[in-house]
Chain A
Amino acid sequence: MAGVGKTISEKIFSAASGRDVWAGDLVVAEVSSAMAHDGTALLAIEAFEEMGGTKVWNPSRVALFLDHVAPSSNETFSKVHKRMRRFAFKHGISLYEVGSGVCHQLMIEEGYVRPGELVVGADSHTCTYGALGAFATGIGSTEMAAVFLSGKLWFKVPETLKVEIEGSLPPFVTPKDVALRVIGEVGADGATYQAVEFHGSTIEEMSVEGRLTLCNMAVEMGAKTGIINPDEKTYSYLAQLGLNPGRGFSSDPDAQYAKTLEFDVSSLEPQVACPHAVDNVKPVSEVEGTPVDQVFLGSCTNGRIEDLRLAAKILEGKVVKRGLRMIVTPASRRVYLQALREGLIETFVKAGCAVCNPGCGPCVGAHQGVLAPGEVCLSTSNRNFKGRMGCTDAEIYLASPATAAATAITGRITDPRSVVRA
């Protein structure tokens, strides 16, 4: 393969495995950081102990998060949290307490992810960090125990699907809409085992937060990760968080791709993923008017400051429709504080929203907004599977923070451009 360029993913795996590797190779690679949360850590801790583990390979590169059921809503989870706190204390690992935020947001804010690194998390949305030019992917709990022990894991170097996105997004059309548009086209398994590399003028223009939303959703097309070549925006985003961004890799111009897809989003309409599949995507105009019982703004997909700003801009001076409840969950304490300083939280509270502590909120159906049979939720999160929000007889639509805010005002799925003057 001499003389042929490499993708960013092949470069990261070559660096992490200490070998010159290409798509299709099975490698054992060293990870830079690893994380687990209250939905996955217990099994990892038990597996670690069953494997005879006494020492974590590098406690400063492992983080545990209490975010999925936090504060705990039942005794079972209170015991899980207790066990995680004990394990973290024993091994000198950082544990992010109830109220700190969603693991994926904190992994970035707390400096566990830098361009060019290989990061694993016991959560499928670990792929979010690819937005920073890291190779980040979700793994299971047992193999997380193996990472705790050795700092290494087996990987198949993935082929790459190149997605080129061109055009400037119209007002109130967001990176979430781009993500849904792409997933609707590629399908829920269209990128299975592959890395999805995003390119094009839309990505260059997009903020790092928008890129995080886009890469977060990559797993919804089966991808191993979503990934974007780091640029000046990436480095300055990390520097602004007070982190040393290091220096990452970029794909070579002659890198080999499994396939290339092109999208023009310059006249994209807001998109909605309809029940019960993330790839069941329609333009908002096709589902407008659908009555909604609950709106959720937050999650690792859309709980960042730009998301809250956009929703608050639409909700400013308005109230949520009578009979509908809107739940707002900032992605982290840092986001929460910033939103407080900017008056966004006041806007949400005055509009009648329930503002919850930073964390996963109702996304996974364990607390803070479980649905009832027959109810409909419009959520800014990333999954609308049957039963996802705690009730198998409820329906979930996925959309952007703008569409969520507009829907909360009218009580029906609404194109945000119809309630604001752009």
Chain B
Amino acid sequence: MSKELVNLVVDMREEEAVKLAEKLLAEGAEPLGLLDDCREALGIIGDRFAAGECFVPELILAGEMLRQIGALVKPKLEASDAGAQKKIGRIVFGTVEGDIHDIAKDIVVFMLDINGFDVMDLGVDVPAAKFVEAVKEFKPQVVGLSGFLTLAYDPMKNTVQALKDAGLRDSVKIMIGGGQMDDNVAAYAKADAYGKDAMAAVTLSKGWIGVK
């Protein structure tokens, strides 16, 4: 474990963090340990975000640092699944049909991933049928519907209905989020909850699968 790496990531010192990770790896540091450091840093950043002490740009840069350090670590991990973190649950996530916005969705997926979820990201402009297919195949406990515009209200409602029609509604909890969403839209779409940001999505998901 490198407290220095944790601090550099938390302090948004991208270049130095990546350089330090390179150096530690070259010196024979345990690759998984570096990922643990990143996760610890991301946890701190997530808490700060939830407390209103840092904001979306920090989340995005944190994701970028993790991506770069992840790319360094990957070749060092053995072919075995030693690198696979034990996942705490499965989530299908996507921006609903007709909406092509992905910035916020990507942040939510990233934070869910960091917090131990196995996330299937379906991308943007995802038709209801594709969500149904994914739920059948991936068997998630949670489905996340993202949308930025008011035009996403009906596709969200349609997606929830499609899951119901396919007999899958009771097997999943459904959360919605994005620019114009709120509790009223969640009620309109017959989703289980609205989450206002990435950390809310993590909290909701953890609550549903019974993990603290």
Asked whether A and B interact, the reply is: no
B-side residues, CB < 8 A to A, are: none
